[in-house]
Amino acid sequence: MTADNTLYEGEFLRLKRVDTWEYAERVNARCAVVIVAVTDNDELLLVEQPRRPMGASVLELPAGLVGDIAGEENEKLAVAAARELEEETGYRPGRLEFLTAGPPSAGLASETLAFFRAYDLKRIDAGGGDDSEEIVPHAVPLAGIEDWLAARRSEGVLIDPKIFAGLYFVVR
């Protein structure tokens, strides 16, 4: 492989090229965490938020960046997972289990995701993200989740496929 050439660098992203391959990498974080959390009432916690690149609202598992807070660049993955779950959904996990990690879009970006399963959830506030986010948390009964997702899709809401990966970890 030849050396990377930086084509563009912004505040949060860098566009690079190796030979004929162009890809993106994050400037301000080293990984992202995705959290699979089921309440005591057998509800999967999801978040909905507008995603500008998609021009639509997207339903997702709670997730966030690791090491993107000044002074916390070496944040542990599980600490970031607990922080993001609480911030986005209002639930604090009693314990977290690492599930798997890997690239979500290996041809487009250098980013990796780490999936965690959250257990022993305690509701501490309404969630909704920080001041820069427009997050709507949802607690969706597992018994009817496929129909619920289909109904949301028919309303024009995009469904992140990582939800289905999360459901795999719930039922296995």
pLDDT at 130: 86
Give the per-residue pLDDT at 153. 98
Q: Is beta strand 56-60 parallel, antiparallel or unpaired with respect to 158-159?
A: parallel
What is the residue-averaged pLDDT of the chain?
Answer: 95
Extents of the domains making up the chain = 32-171
Stated pTM of the model? 0.93
- 3-state DSSP: the chain helix, strand, coil percent, rounded to 5? 20, 40, 40
Q: 53: part of which helix (H) or strand (E)?
A: none
Write down the pLDDT at residue 70.
87
Given a contact cutoff of 8 angstroms between Cβ atoms, the answer to whether 31 and 112 are in contact is: yes
- The residues, ordered by sequence, that sit 6+ positions from 81 with a Cβ below 8 Å of its Cβ are 33, 35, 93, 96, 114, 116, 118
For residue 103, what pLDDT is reported? 96
The class of domain 32-171 in CATH terms is alpha beta
Rounded mean pLDDT, 161-167: 97
